[in-house]
Structure 1
Amino acid sequence: METDHLFCEKCGAANPANRTGTENCFACGKPLLAEPAQPELHPSTGPLIPGSLLNLRYLILGQVGTGGFGAVYKAKDTQSGKRLVAIKEINLQGLKPQEVIEATHTFNREVMLLSGLTHPNLPQLYDHFTDPQHWYLVMDFIEGETLEEYLQKTRDGCLPLHTVLDIAIQLCTVLDYLHTRQPAIIFRDVKPANIMRTPRGHLYLIDFGTARHLKPGQARDTIALGSPGYAAPEQYGKAQTTQQSDIYSLGVTLHQLLTGNDPSENPFRLAPLRATHASLPAELEALVAQMLEAVCHSKKVYFCHGQL
């Protein structure tokens, strides 16, 4: 008859199951648990508890952030080799009817857009599911911090030129990918808070809650959305957002990274780059100025990418 074993959490050695919890692994000496702890199922209400199991699959490790309608958690996918994932939770409890509609649209939009995208600078969507009070998105867990958090650690809120150029190229690459989908995807909220940076400097564009498909011929967006200071003028109901809207926001972001000036303090009135840093190349100043033009030009993303 086959003998039950306890497997050591450290080295994996099989120890006889009749050993007590006070004994150690015969191979490495690590203390053994007589009965390995089993994760508790997540209750239907309240925040996700570290150690609980969500959807019979995701072992919750802890909360890593909060958003407008919920929170983001770090978890292990127990059915995929314990892969680390980020779980974005939208909590419908306590929301007003209009807020439920907005949250639902945000969830459905992210699922629709991210499901068909694969790019090195985008998180991959693995799963999505719901319960009566919550909506969940499961995607890559990105080890790092937002570009906004990274900037806050600098002395003057700006970055060296070579670092900004690397950031610009990565962002142009992923925006080029989005803008050349059929139909084109307009992100609509390019800003440091929506850009994750790993310790090695790799970037991810995150939060597709306001992204949308381009609708040729439409006069203006149905709803005005955008972050003050970063949003292009047309995002305030003046016209439809296009690829150029994202390029405008990218130009604002690069201006902030190079100068340390917060664009939300004086929207649409950004000083020429070299008025703040005379040592910056004149060609870069001209390029950023072109990105900040309000005139729509869907091909400008390719020009910006090539120039950088």
Structure 2
Amino acid sequence: MRVYSHPACLAHVPGAGHPECPARLDAVAGALRAALPKLDWQLAPAATREQIGRVHSAELIATVLDTVVSETIRLDADTALSPDSAEAALRAAGAGTAAVDWVLAGKHRRAFCAVRPPGHHATQRTAMGFCLFNSIAIAAAHALKAHGLERVSIVDFDVHHGNGTQDIFQRDRRVQYLSSHQIPLYPGTGRSDEHGVGNIHNAELPPGSGAAVFRAVWTNTLLPQLATFEPQLLLISAGFDAHHLDPLADLKLEAADFHWLSSELAALADAHCQGRVVSMLEGGYSLTALRECSVAHLQGLARAASTQ
């Protein structure tokens, strides 16, 4: 399995005490290198403005890339630009496009992007929720435009609803979005009655939900919807903040639950899209949980010997 990352992703510093800190990526990378020494690590390229512009407005791109930043600038209460944020955002988005190119080339079938800042809250026009550019949306748009795919599924198991991803694709029948997330919780979107043009599938998880509820909504609702769509490529917004140790939410999952879902997704990818999966790191703010869950996630994705 190939992993895309870049040191520039460590240089984005949203402020002292901010939960979306560089130590998150250090924790993930260190755990993966220790537990899975055969991973193929590659430097993420920088995304181009053209690639980013497929999902984001010119105004947002200019804000992130062209603002002169000498010290941290707040875009909202949670989201910030530091002097090196633009390069981090370019490398995070570029990891996704490079990973799509890699798995669609047919040599290997799984890739993971160990990057930050996260992306799934960034809408077409607005950076928010710790996110500057929506890297998973940029990857999906790249698959559609550069590779001519007609059906791409995005699975999001971050504890927070990926409002940005839904916003970008809710009128695009080529992209299916499936999400489980805690409600009520930031950003306050993701109700089960939000359907887009039939391509949006949200599962609400009440506070305190554990493995039984989580696995039931995926087994009974979301995984069957994924199978029915028969995607040509599966993209994953891999947030690990539904873990019981996470300080920003109130679900009760364990690393084993992320391994289970990742294995189920790998099986569906093998059945419907030649096993082609690109996963991108999103949230997760307990370093212990990040270490455990990132390893469990990749082990679940690598369920078939042919994906190594």
For the criterion TM > 0.5, the same-fold answer is no
Higher helix share: 2
Higher strand share: 1
Could you say which structure has the greater relative contact order, defined with CA pairs below 8 angstroms and 6 or more residues apart?
Answer: 2
TM-score with structure 1 setting the length: 0.26
Q: Rg larger in 1 or in 2?
A: 1
TM-score with structure 2 setting the length: 0.26
